[in-house]
Amino acid sequence: MPELPEVTTMVNGLKDNVLGRTIIDVWSDAEKIVKKPNKFSDFKKQIIGRKIEKIERKGKVILIILDKNRTLLVHPKMSGHFLFGKWKKEGDSWKPKKKSALEDPMNRFIHLIFFMDNSNMLAFSDLRKFARIELWDTSQLKNSEMLNRIGKDALEISLKDFTSVIGKYKKWKIKPLLMNQKEIAGIGNIYSDEILFRAKINPFREAGSLKKEEIKKLHQSIKVILKKAIKVSGSSISDFRRIDGDKGSFQELIKVYGHQGKKCSKCGGIIERKKLAGRSAHFCPKCQK
């Protein structure tokens, strides 16, 4: 699932390629991805002719702000990602017109295309088709359930607010707490493992057991790991690709996630993988206490 660094990478790519452009047409073979309005024909009618004025991120949600009081909300969910380029239809599939990273197999699940006024295309590839897209009156965004469920941004949360979250959920294990989107938005399975490893904190620790200095170190690690991941365009361990179709490269910097059975880069101990709150926790039992 795209986490904060991957969604930020998408937003940066969108800003570089479609900001200021006007949507002249839209196509889909998976119309149910669009949840609002209910009918795709209404969605198409409302979005054609709209100019892209601003692009933002809130948690793991992308906000594409259009002219004439319209905003497109996009939650990539498990496997959604935007692609920018030019394609041609061949049978039931869209093929890139030029040889490029867009030919990567993970970019072939195109289910939505926005045609731009400069002959370029903005495609949305989603292997699992779990993504959620909504078109809102911008003035009514305050009523969006999707946005109202999002907590403080993981990159922006202050130490004071982070400490308050720790105190509010004292009995929670620290890994699932970091992934609680209602309190701290943007951290998922990969980055929670990497953040906890850097902070030398065991993912099975109860939040209430953390000392003041550990909380400070953990808060710092959130910023360091996420910023490092953004710098290298996120992780492409599975489905995620940048808007040009290429991979991010944070997977080359990962220390514990997916490294079960390998030696810890810090102490030489063996990385373990255990189930925690329905997810996998990867950690070094020697380094992380």
Per-domain residue ranges for the chain? 4-148, 152-283
Question: H or E stretch including 189?
Answer: helix 189-199
Catalytic residue list contains 206 = no
Predicted confidence (pLDDT) per residue in 150-161, tens digit: 999 999 999 999
State phi, psi for 163 to the nearest 5 degrees. -65, -35
Query: Please, what is the Cα angle at 239 between 81 and 60, to 5 degrees?
Result: 50
**Cα separation, 4 vs 58, whole angstroms:** 9
Q: What single letter denotes the amino acid at residue 196?
A: L
Point out the catalytic residue in the list 44, 50, 60, 255.
Answer: 60
Q: What single letter denotes the amino acid at residue 51?
A: K
CATH class of the domain at 152-283: mainly alpha
Read off the tokens for 88.
């041609």
Q: Which residues pair with 184 in a beta bridge?
A: 152
Q: What is the pLDDT of residue 138?
A: 97
Determine the longest span between alpha carbons in the chain, in angstroms.
60
Q: What is the pLDDT of residue 1?
A: 79
Predicted confidence (pLDDT) per residue in 193-249, tens digit: 999 999 999 999 999 999 999 999 999 999 999 999 999 999 999 999 999 999 999
Q: For domain 4-148, which architecture applies?
A: Alpha-Beta Barrel (3.20)
Catalytic residue list contains 3 = yes
**Cα separation, 139 vs 271, whole angstroms:** 49
Point out the catalytic residue in the list 173, 216, 273, 279.
Answer: 279
Catalytic residue list contains 21 = no
Catalytic residue list contains 2 = yes
Low-confidence ranges of the chain (pLDDT < 50): none
Q: What is the pLDDT of residue 153?
A: 98
